[in-house]
Amino acid sequence: MKNNNNIILAFFILIIIVLFSCKTENIMPEEETIEQLEWKTGKNEYNMEMDDTLRNFLVHVPESYTGDSKTPLVFMLHGTSGTGTKFYNISGWVQKSEEVGCIIVFPTALEYPIVENNNKMTTKWSKDGLESDIPAGYPIKDDIPFFRLMIDILKKTFNIDEKRIYITGFSNGGAFVRTRILDEMNDVFTACSAGGIGLEKKLDIQGRIPPFYQIIGTKDPKWLEALGINNIPHSYEKIVKIDQLKTRIDNMKQSLKLGDDYTEELTNTKYNLITWNNDLNGSGNEAKLLIVNQLLHRYPNGKNNPKGVSASEILWDWFIQYELN
């Protein structure tokens, strides 16, 4: 009888072990297989399905790329109604890629019905506040997973320098950098830039604070209309006398945890570059504000503004100073 009890006990233990093993196997997620992209030097266009939605991005691989050494990666984000293809053609980053040997990515945002434009379908990044631009209840696809997946795919395909991944955006693309990337992907992007936008409200950035470079034009109609003025002044002394401009600058300093001390590189004919690098958080970050004389609401490419300012020229020299620890 004792032997029978032992057999029954052993049988039940075996069943428990088998059931536990099956349960453990079922709850373990399968590892996603990320395949390498097929590529050539120059322009490459890719379409991939993510969350039942087709996503598009372009990758420019410079002629000098061999894969033998780690290569910096730059993302260039278009503005409202734009596409990756448009900014591939006009931003100036393709030429910079060939000059310095970095790889450039030009993704395209999804389309949404924009209320103020009679619900016309228009490309928009999922920046903070997008819900106020579209009809109530219209579904928003979060772009952050799209960026993380692109980076994973690119690291699988190319010899990417993970310490040197940068991002720049214009207008709505800049707003996405400002409201989402700075906080949610500061573990990935070494330094960030935005053109044609400002910090309308403070950010609560968790963790590392990336260096941030902002570019605006003195004749940007979107800024002038929002501020109710005819021209954005160059000098910092005059800027802070305009309450809304001062508020946006204060928001930037507080969001990036920077002190009030600044330096100013003022050229009356071309631009004013204001720098804050009194880091109060120990992150080693800084903020720069480039105010370009006579620039409209454009991403400066050296040809589309009277002063010949090129964002890719300026930003590359600034980006490459920084390496992610």
Give per-residue pLDDT as tens, 176-196: 999 999 999 999 999 999 999
The verdict on residue 1 lying in a domain is: no
The verdict on residue 325 lying in a domain is: no
Which CATH number covers residue 85? 3.40.50.1820
Predicted local confidence at residue 20, as pLDDT: 33
Q: Is 57 helix (H, G, I), strand (E, B) or coil?
A: strand
The verdict on residue 19 lying in a domain is: no
Predicted local confidence at residue 31, as pLDDT: 39
CB 116 within 8 A of CB 133: yes
**Integer Cα distance of 202 and 219 in angstroms:** 25
DSSP labels, 109-135 = PEEEEEGGGTTEEEEE---TTGGGTS-
The verdict on residue 8 lying in a domain is: no
219 pLDDT more than 80: yes
pLDDT band of residue 27 (cuts 50, 70, 90) is very low
Question: Structural domain of residue 148, as residue ranges?
Answer: 42-319
In the chain, % of residues over pLDDT 70 = 89
pLDDT band of residue 324 (cuts 50, 70, 90) is very high
Count of the separate structural domains present in the chain:
1
**Integer Cα distance of 81 and 87 in angstroms:** 11
The verdict on residue 256 lying in a domain is: yes
> HSE on the CB side for 259, CA within 13 Å?
11
Predicted local confidence at residue 4, as pLDDT: 46
CB 108 within 8 A of CB 45: no
DSSP strand pairing (212-217 vs 287-292): parallel
Q: What is the dihedral of CA 202, 206, 207, 208, to 10 degrees?
A: -30
pLDDT band of residue 77 (cuts 50, 70, 90) is very high
Q: Is 208 helix (H, G, I), strand (E, B) or coil?
A: coil
> What is the rounded average pLDDT of the residues 281-286?
86
Q: Is 192 helix (H, G, I), strand (E, B) or coil?
A: strand
Provide the sign of the torsion angle of the four alpha carbons 154, 156, 162, 164, taken in this order.
negative
Task: Find which of 3-17, 23-37, 254-268 is predicted with most confidence, using mean pLDDT.
Answer: 254-268
> What is the rounded average pLDDT of the residues 79-94?
98
- pLDDT tens digits along 114-125: 999 999 999 999
The verdict on residue 226 lying in a domain is: yes
3 pLDDT more than 70: no
The verdict on residue 208 lying in a domain is: yes
- pLDDT averaged over every residue in the chain: 89
200 pLDDT more than 80: no
> What is the rounded average pLDDT of the residues 140-157?
98
